[in-house]
Structure 1
Amino acid sequence: MIGFTRRSASSVLVVLTAFVLAVTGAPAASAEPPAFVLRDGVSQPVFSYQNAIRETAWVETGQDLDRDGRIDRVAADIIRPAEPAARGRRVPVIMDVSPYYACCGRGNENQKKTYAADGTPEQFPLFYDNYFVPRGYAVVLVDVGGTNRSSGCFDDVASGNAVVNWLNGRARGFRSPAGQDTVKAGWANGAVGAIGKSQDGTTAIGMAASGIDGLKTVVPIESVSDNYAQHIANGSPIVTPENDGSAFTYNERAAQLCQPYEQDNAARAGTNGDYNEYWKQLNYAANAKNVHASVFSVQGFQDGAVAPNQFTLWWDAIGRAGVTRKAWLSQAGHTDPFDLQREQWVATLHRWFDRWLLGVRNGIEREPAIHLEQTPGQWVDLPQWPAATRQGTLWPSAGGTLANRPGVGTATVVDDPAIDREQWATQDSTARAVFTTDPLTRPERLSGTPSVTVTASSDKPVARLGVALVDYGPASTRNTVEYGSGIKNLDTRSCWGESSAADSACFLDTTADLVDVDHVIVAVGWADLGHYASLEHGVALTPGTPYTITFPLTGLDHVVPAGHRLGLIVGGTDAMLFDPALPRLDDTLTFTLAATSVTLPLAG
């Protein structure tokens, strides 16, 4: 088991010459000796965590977003092993760029950065520092512009890229927020791996899509690849402008100075749901051709905060671009794999970083690309994803049936923004219409991205659409309803690396949070009917006129057991997704069932 690590005197007595020859193809004497020790195929914890160098560099971004007349500087808190530096050997960097280090914390226990009285960083959230610094890595945690100890405003990719540039000698760093005493990263070998969950992973994806030199790998966990799809559901804004954005993460100074910047961004984003130039710049999946880093992505299929379509968009795009890729896929919610399969996750991440940051030829890129949780706690390794080999189409029909031929009749729903998709699935309501198949005679695996084609008319010039795909039948699942994570904390702790008085390597253990249910919503999707022809140009609807729109649902990998029924729900506003401050539409939708269908990705 990988647990609390201790230095061993014998572990440093390793002959490195053969390794250098294997990696570089050159004699050891002609190459800089590696700043790590390799045994049993992985880097070893031979360096002191207690005596590691802890420091901060404030790095120029090249922008003045807060408009104070000075180039913005982002704070990069650094912890690195002292021994390689003393020998003149350089180390790679594991980086997490986040706006949350002061306001909200990171990880299951919401850890925040802490500092000594002189400002020296003491606690580095998560286990990366405890585990990897003794193995010859530096860990650098960067405050996004305008958050914690950084100046400037929220430009996450620019914040991360600035530090990558500094680590490679292409940007200036300073020893204080406003002073002129410069500091260089002579201890860094220029290789950077960016990791993070949620917004942090979104930043890593954006950095990769920028093509920045020096970024060797990214590990985005439950992260956004297309900001338009995160904020706007196929033309329908999900939140009001005043509730959209990251202003809540700002430090006191930025909260004042960045108001013009935020107002400008809101104006460029627009309120009509159109996919415009602002959103195109934030569509990282569309720029996958620029990605030079390897990618190790993580996604939960029941994540309500960052829907699985963010993963599927990214996965498909980097696949088409020929990027080396790997993924862990679970049935959990917005959850770090550290809290799903801790021992295997740490071991896999260790080998991944060894491969791409230390250059260890461990073959991990040739191993099965997919680690998939099929049912709670039951994982399999697969060569690729999705597994769909064919598509099947089902049509709803009057009377509530869902069958493999076009239906007949119409269905009418009255938009009710107080009713959510879980209520759609379980309660009688005029806010939705439900259609189900007969009980399945054999299991059916759905693997990939479903899509729907909806033909509907509205009695108003506007209309939101909501669609849910439901597995009706008894099951024991992870508890992810209402944005649940699917895990729960235990009273015990396990340790992953070395600790200091201010930074413990021991974290609460977790277990699956299971619940018995009679249905599972396995995929969802939303749209504005006025964007039926184009995401770039929405139009006002002519009341009573039917319009046809096709849009994807969220990705899934789910087996519908024999005896269960598959259901399709069509409705209007989903209260679980849409901001209640958005304007009420109060429309009535009439669906033409013969021209409404769902297309399913079928495996096997």
Structure 2
Amino acid sequence: MPLPRPRTPLADRTESRRGRPARRAAAALGLAAATTLSGFAAPLASAGAAADGPIGPVFSNGMAQPVFSSNRADWIREEVWIEVPVDSDGDGRNDRVHAEVTRLRETETAGLKSPVVYEVSPYYAGGNPITNHNVDHELHQARRPGKGWLNRGGKTTDPAKDERLTAAATADEAAAAGTGPQPIISTSHEANWLPRGFAVVHAESLGSGRSDGCPTTGGRNETLGAKAVVDWLNGRAKAYDAAGREVKSTWTTGKVGMIGTSYNGTLPNAVASTGVEGLEAIVPISAISSWYDYYRANGAVVAPGGYQGEDADVLAEYVYTRSDKQICRSLIERLAQEQDRVTGDYSAFWDERNYMNDVGNVHAAVLVAHGLNDWNVKTKHAAQWYGALKERGVPHKIYLHQGGHGGSPSLDVLNRWFTRYLWGQENGVENDPRALVQREDRSLVEYAEWPDPASAATTLNLAPGANGTAGGLTLDRTRRGRPVTETIADDASKRAQALADAATSPNRLAYKSGTLTGPVRLSGTPQLSLRMSFDQPAANITALLVDYDQNGKAKIVTRGWTDPQNRKSISRTDPVKPGTPYRLDLDMQPHDYVFAAGHRIGIVLLSSDYEYTIRPAPGARLHLDTTKSTVTLPLIGGADALAAATAE
């Protein structure tokens, strides 16, 4: 079943500290041939009982076992503020990150040293009501910031978000009035990992909750804030309790594993890119690897799926939940200017938020998890991050599932990963197949690597249609026909799905393969090379990869976008001269997909994408030279396999 769409911007899948209690995962596992860390057998009947001397974790089948108490009353919880070597709010003092430690009592009474499972989030304190940017305007048109596009004090129209904000406000009022205890940041991960001997740390990202500093939507200060927790756990940073007394982390081994979903998964990528010592493993789930690719695509202003009009400033406003609501105001206004929604160009602003720049510093073992149908944090983030780690020989594994945003690997997969890299148990996880992919029938299939090494770039040619009907998608260059220019009339009000389904339309061009006689699997990144001209100096270009079933019903498999003014570089806008043909290369979002027998592979080209791009008034016309345009698909078995499946 596809995962439910999150209801907050770049939403995480953990529980809010002011929301409902975290779900408990079942902890029961087989304990055959269990051993302690020192290699001696441990009597299971005494699991969780007090010991006269140090007690160690127990491992079986390469996984840490739940032999410690699962009773929260037996755990130690402490609250700290960790000093960060940055002053992002400009108050003359170093920022501090608010964090909460949950650890076993044995770390105090029996000399146990625990590794740490750590999650940091800007969402634990809820969020502010926000309104996204208006997207119904002409391309490359300047919008005056702060005038109608962002309602900082108004009501949200999302009932789920309203409920969350009301709960947060109630908790804040109770704490301020002294009528109740300070709320716990989060209890996620505790039920899974404390009984297995780990400690758990939750921290609030700068500018949110009880941390100070400012939110910057992926800025360097947020990376340093999250990194400071790892430094403290390794004795390199100072932390203080609510009374101002210094607190030391003498109870930990210093080995840290970060995990989280969405923004909470992005911060592990950011911290790992610093190369900080002690961070041994990360599990980024639906995580961003470059913020430019979250809010832009090949020069085009492109929204995260479900959040049309959101941008870096809006997200910063949403998570700005610290008590001082004025100190970061000028910084957020600067984000609105520097993000540049006019040209969509890559700039120093986005370069600061590009973790790919520092992927060479990563030494932590990385288990990437991503939904193949995640249109919030799109699959390019996982693919480019994973590919760079693979090239550099960093320990790596990828889990791809059929859902959307979110979706963690199973507890067993996580346990083997953290047991190997945090406890140091030689369980052979590094020798496992690197890719675990959930197929269309929901079965899990292991592959040696991803993209599948058996995939090969397969170039297809476009044969023009007639009177707005679909043309051909063929391996045979001779079947493209005589040189033909086909035209798209832009109409941003038309949805991509409707255009893909339409038998004829002036607002799209469609090209279909022959009917497949057997399954054809795609694994990797589809690419297009188009020869196009325009009758206006600005236009959107959207491409869809489509699976047409036996009835002609379209399923959009993946899509991509580009701005023709960025045809030479995503960092530079080059004007388009109407009537002049240009070469335009664009990538679609990576995917792993099987086209079934009886189906047809399709490419659909349109201009503006109602759900993702800026939506100008109808009227622009785009002209495609079909004889000089190609589509390249990464297919298992390459051209030979496709030819056999289409009887070409």
Match for 1:42: what amino acid?
M
| Aligned-partner residue type, residue 161 of structure 1 | K
Residues 558/110 of structure 1: CA separation in 2 closer, same or farther (3 Å cut): farther
* 8 Å CA contact 2:312, 2:339 repeated in 1: no
Query: AA paired with 1:289?
Result: G
Shift of 1:40: 4.7
Match of 2:317 in 1: 247
2:538 to 437, 450, 462: 462
CA distance in structure 2 between the aligned counterparts of 1:553 and 1:3, rounded to whole angstroms: 36
Cα pair 1:55 1:120 within 8 Å, conserved: no
Distance in 2 (alpha carbons) for counterparts of 1:15 and 1:445: 45
Could you tell me which residue of structure 2 aligns to residue 368 of structure 1?
433
Please provide the CA RMSD for this pair. Answer: 3.0
Residue 146 of structure 1 pairs with residue 225 of structure 2: no
Checking the alignment, whether the CA contact within 8 Å between 1:463 and 1:585 is kept in structure 2 is no
Give the C-alpha shift of residue 278 in structure 1: 2.4
The amino acid of 2:81's aligned partner reads W
Whether 1:215 aligns to 2:279 is: yes
Residues 1:424 and 2:490 aligned together: no
Counterpart residue number, 2:368: 297
Work out the percentage of aligned pairs sharing the same amino acid: 33
For 1:341-356, list aligned pairs within 5 A. Answer: 345-356=410-421
Alpha-carbon deviations, 1:478-533, whole Å to 9, x = none? xxxxxxxxxxxxxxxxxxxxxxxxxxxxxxxxxxxxxxx93321121000001111
User: 1:242 and 1:173, CA in 2 relative to 1: closer, same or farther beyond 3 A?
Assistant: closer
Note the C-alpha offset of 1:110.
8.4
Q: For residues 602 and 175 of structure 1, do their structure 2 counterparts lie closer, same or farther at Cα, with a shift above 3 Å needed?
A: same
**Counterpart pick for 1:46 among 67, 78, 91:** 67
TM-fit CA distance, 1:194: 0.7
Pairing partner for 2:622 from 574, 589, 598: 589
- Post-superposition Cα deviations, 1:207-265, rounded to whole Å, max 9, x if no partner, equal 11121111101101111112111111100122555864332111153542212222333
Q: Aligned equivalents of 2:324 and 2:459: distance in 1? A: 51
Show structure 1 runs of 5+ residues with no match.
Answer: 21-31, 339-344, 476-516
Whether contact under 8 Å (1:147, 1:254) holds in the other structure is: no
Q: Any idea what SS the aligned residue of 2:487 has?
A: strand
1:75 & 1:242 partners in 2: Cα distance?
A: 23
Query: Are the aligned partners of 1:54 and 1:122 in contact in 2 as well (CA < 8 Å)?
Result: no
Q: After TM superposition, list the pairs within 5 Å mapping 1:9-48 onto structure 2.
A: 16-18=37-39, 35-48=56-69
Distance 1:267 1:159, change over 3 A: same
**1:394 Cα deviation (Å)?**
1.2
Q: TM-score, normalised by structure 2?
A: 0.77
* 1:281-360 alignment, distance < 5 Å: 281-337=352-408, 345-360=410-425
* Secondary structure, aligned partner of 1:211: coil
The CA deviation string for residues 6-40 of structure 1, in whole angstroms up to 9 with x for no partner, is 799x99996654369xxxxxxxxxxx977423345
Q: Which amino acid aligns with 1:47?
A: F
Secondary structure at 1:210 match in 2:
coil
CA distance in 2, matches of 1:414, 1:471: 23
Whether contact under 8 Å (1:236, 1:527) holds in the other structure is yes
1:156 Cα deviation from its structure 2 partner = 3.0
> Does structure 2 retain, via aligned residues, the 8 Å contact 1:7–1:47?
no
1:275 to 346, 363, 366: 346
Structure 2 stretches of 5 or more lacking a match? 1-23, 42-52, 129-159, 216-220, 304-308, 466-470, 638-648
Higher strand share: 1
- Tell me, in whole angstroms, the C-alpha distance in 2 between the residues paired with 1:202 and 1:584: 36
Residue 259, structure 1, aligned to residue 329, structure 2: yes
Pairing 1:67–2:90 present:
yes
Q: Distance in 2 between matches of 1:71 and 1:325?
A: 35
Q: Which residue of 1 aligns with 2:288?
A: 224
Residue 600 (structure 1) aligns with: 633
CA distance in 1, matches of 2:531, 2:398: 36
Aligned partner letter, 1:596: S
Structure 1 residue 584: Cα displacement: 4.9
Q: Do the aligned partners of 2:207 and 2:320 also contact (CA within 8 Å) in 1?
A: yes
The 3-state SS of whatever aligns with 1:65 is: coil
Tell me whether 1:56 sits opposite 2:79 in the alignment.
yes
Q: Is the 8 A contact 2:124 2:186 kept in 1?
A: no
* 2:152 is equivalent to residue 90 of structure 1: no
Contact 2:206 2:222 in 1 (8 A): yes
Does the Cα contact within 8 Å between 1:208 and 1:292 map onto a contact in 2? yes
Amino acid at match of 1:423: A
2:452 is the alignment partner of 1:452 = no
Q: Aligned letter for 1:327?
A: I
Which of 365-374 and 410-419 deviates more? 410-419
| Compared CA separation, residues 3 and 464, structure 1 to 2 (3 A) | closer
TM-fit CA distance, 1:541: 0.7
Q: Establish whether residue 103 from structure 1 lines up as the match of residue 126 from structure 2.
A: yes
Give the aligned partner of residue 156 of structure 2: none
Matches within 5 A, 1:124-203: 124-126=186-188, 128-154=189-215, 155-176=221-242, 180-203=244-267
Q: How many Å separate the matches in 2 of 1:7 and 1:455?
A: 58
Q: Which amino acid aligns with 1:256?
A: Q
Tell me the secondary structure at the aligned position of residue 393 of structure 2: coil
TM-fit CA distance, 1:120:
5.2
User: Following superposition of structure 1 onto structure 2, how do residues 411-560 of structure 1 map, counting pairs within 5 Å?
Assistant: 411-427=486-502, 428-473=504-549, 518-560=553-595
Please report how far the alpha carbon of residue 42 of structure 1 lies from its aligned counterpart in structure 2 after TM superposition: 2.6
Q: Work out the CA distance in 2 between the residues paired with 1:61 and 1:351.
A: 32
Name the amino acid aligned to 2:275.
G
Structure 1's 261 and 243: CA in aligned 2 closer, same or farther, altered over 3 A? closer
CA change 1:84–1:228 in 2 (3 A) is same
Over 3 Å counting, the alpha-carbon distance change for 1:6 and 1:379 in structure 2 is closer
Instruction: Give the TM-score of the pair, scaled to structure 1.
Output: 0.82
